[in-house]
Amino acid sequence: MQYFPPALERLVEQFNKLPGIGSKTAQRLAFFVLSLPEEDAAAFAQAILDAKSSIACCPICQNLTEGDGPCAICRSPKRDAATVCVVADPKDVIAMERSREYGGLYHVLHGVISPMNHVGPDDLHIKSLVERVGSGGVQEVIMATNPDTEGEATAMYLSRLLKPFSVKVTRLAYGIPVGSHLEFADDATLMRALEGRREM
Amino acid sequence: MQYFPPALERLVEQFNKLPGIGSKTAQRLAFFVLSLPEEDAAAFAQAILDAKSSIACCPICQNLTEGDGPCAICRSPKRDAATVCVVADPKDVIAMERSREYGGLYHVLHGVISPMNHVGPDDLHIKSLVERVGSGGVQEVIMATNPDTEGEATAMYLSRLLKPFSVKVTRLAYGIPVGSHLEFADDATLMRALEGRREM
């Protein structure tokens, strides 16, 4: 039975397709869009179309960028081109940039190796990383994939793949997070923190 | 500092404007839209534009409808035109329709009287309700606003407004919800349930 006008029903369906948005929330969002002024709703629709049409992957680091050329980070003369940080996801680049500590370049894999989800090395941007390192100029590759099983396995796989090239391959340090409590740290983390202890 | 390409940033901002969507969720939704096939993203944008352009209020009951004429419920010859159920919101029409019990027509106020939020009687579709009842043919008006202070006050205001017309004004029954437990019922609800007790 149809309760909404078809056009509203279609909008609710579209919102319902978004991850984490159930049918009740989808209804609420659709009603909100209906209540927007005409130009705001048009701006929303346009933003979707613009994002889809103008955003592409940087040909060097595979991070998201606007237009055809390399991204702002790859183009920047201030960044250290000898260091490449390998991350799984464009969101991880943002996390790294937020720390304001890292001054090198990135390489975005767009996923991790995950046999369970049928993601193999060929589904990721691994070939372009190997070519990038192989073409010279890179001195250090920092593995910054997530510290979970799949992230670990991917980092391990890549470090073996990069072994033939005379390049230093490092991994982000494991340890207790700043501001946390020792009592809540899990065994594996504590073990790694102990292993990685440094002189003060 | 700009972390995302501008087009992506704009899409995140648009999602962030939606009610209940914070910046993290907005990012997740924007990335999801980016991952959609071109035609699905276009369908999403089109659904927003269509909903805005084609949905209007029914000239009779003020419920949402597509096109200019009266809505499907007002047009239906199967519905009892002598009974009008007054609700605050189009969503409430859907709740009533779901019960499959009600066979009359509706009148959607699009809000309730709320001095706190600067909503007075003139901001709601009250004048059209009075005209509708005044033009004859309506025998019963059922107040189905929410059972909270503002809903109550609005129902009270309307019933007084409709008093001059020879029309029966009723209110949905209060009582314990079906399937609930007596021990969890609040005092006010129990009192109303007792007041409204019926012979078995």
Closest CA to A89 of B25, B4, B37, B10: B4
Q: Is A95 on the interface with B (CB under 8 A)?
A: no
- Chain B hits for A65, Cβ within 8 Å: 5
Q: Is B98 on the interface with A (CB under 8 A)?
A: yes
Q: Search chain A and give the residue with CA nearest B46.
A: A45
Q: Is A13 on the interface with B (CB under 8 A)?
A: yes
Q: Is A91 on the interface with B (CB under 8 A)?
A: yes
Retrieve residue B56's tokens.
């209007």
Chains A, B: CB contacts within 8 A come to 142
User: 3-class SS at A200?
Assistant: coil
- Chain B hits for A5, Cβ within 8 Å: 54-55, 64-66, 71
CB spacing of B64 vs A38 below 8 angstroms:
no
Q: What is the CATH T-level fold of the domain A64-199, as seen in this structure?
A: Dna Topoisomerase Vi A Subunit; Chain: A, domain 2 (3.40.1360)
pLDDT of residue A1: 45
User: Å from B58 to nearest chain A CA?
Assistant: 11
In A112-199, the DSSP E strands lie at 140-143, 168-171
| pLDDT tens readout for residues B37-82 | 989 999 999 999 999 888 888 999 999 988 888 988 999 999 999 9
Determine the Cα–Cα distance for residues B36 and A39; give it in Å rounded to an integer. Answer: 24
Q: Does the model's ipTM exceed the 0.85 cut? A: no
Task: Kindly tell me if the per-residue pLDDT of A2 is higher than 60.
Answer: no
Under 8 Å between Cβ of A183 and A166: no
Determine the Cα–Cα distance for residues A124 and B63; give it in Å rounded to an integer. Answer: 50
CB spacing of A44 vs B47 below 8 angstroms:
no
Assign B26 a pLDDT band (cuts: 50, 70, 90): very high
Assign A186 a pLDDT band (cuts: 50, 70, 90): confident
| pLDDT tens readout for residues B98-152 | 888 888 999 999 999 999 999 999 999 999 999 999 998 899 999 999 888 899 9
CB spacing of A33 vs B11 below 8 angstroms:
no
Domain ranges of chain B: 6-55, 64-199
Task: Kindly tell me if the per-residue pLDDT of B6 is higher than 70.
Answer: yes
Q: Is B1 on the interface with A (CB under 8 A)?
A: yes
| pLDDT tens readout for residues A78-134 | 999 999 999 998 888 888 888 888 889 999 999 999 999 999 999 999 999 999 999
Assign domain A6-55 to its CATH architecture.
Orthogonal Bundle (1.10)
pLDDT of residue B173: 86
pLDDT of residue B2: 57
| pLDDT tens readout for residues B134-149 | 998 899 999 999 888 8
Q: Is A66 on the interface with B (CB under 8 A)?
A: yes
Under 8 Å between Cβ of A84 and A106: yes
- Chain A hits for B22, Cβ within 8 Å: none
Residue-wise DSSP of chain B: ---S-HHHHHHHHHHHTSTT--HHHHHHHHHHHHHS-HHHHHHHHHHHHHHHHHEEE-TTT--EEESSS--HHHH-TTSEEEEEEEESSHHHHHHHHHTT---EEEEE-SS--BGGGTB-GGGTTTHHHHHHHHTS---EEEE---SSHHHHHHHHHHHHHHTTSS-EEEEPPP-PPTT--GGGS-HHHHHHHHHT----
pLDDT of residue B175: 85
HSE at residue B59, side-chain half, CA atoms within 13 A, is: 5
- Chain A hits for B38, Cβ within 8 Å: 52
Predicted TM-score (pTM) above 0.80: no
Closest in B11, B27, B38 to A47, CB measured: B11
How confident is the model over B174-185, as a mean pLDDT?
Answer: 82
pLDDT of residue B114: 92
| pLDDT tens readout for residues A29-75 | 999 998 899 899 999 999 999 988 888 889 999 999 888 889 889 99
Closest in B1, B45, B55 to A8, CB measured: B55
Beta bridge partners of B105: B84
Assign B1 a pLDDT band (cuts: 50, 70, 90): very low
Task: Enumerate residues 31 to 50 of chain B having a beta carbon within 8 A of any beta carbon in chain A.
Answer: 31-34, 36, 38, 41-50
pLDDT of residue B84: 94
Task: Kindly tell me if the per-residue pLDDT of A3 is higher than 80.
Answer: no
Task: Give the residue from B1, B48, B50 with the most A CB atoms within 10 Å of its CB, the best one to mutate.
Answer: B48
Q: Is A30 on the interface with B (CB under 8 A)?
A: yes
Q: Is A180 on the interface with B (CB under 8 A)?
A: no
CB spacing of B45 vs A45 below 8 angstroms:
yes
How confident is the model over B31-38, as a mean pLDDT?
Answer: 90
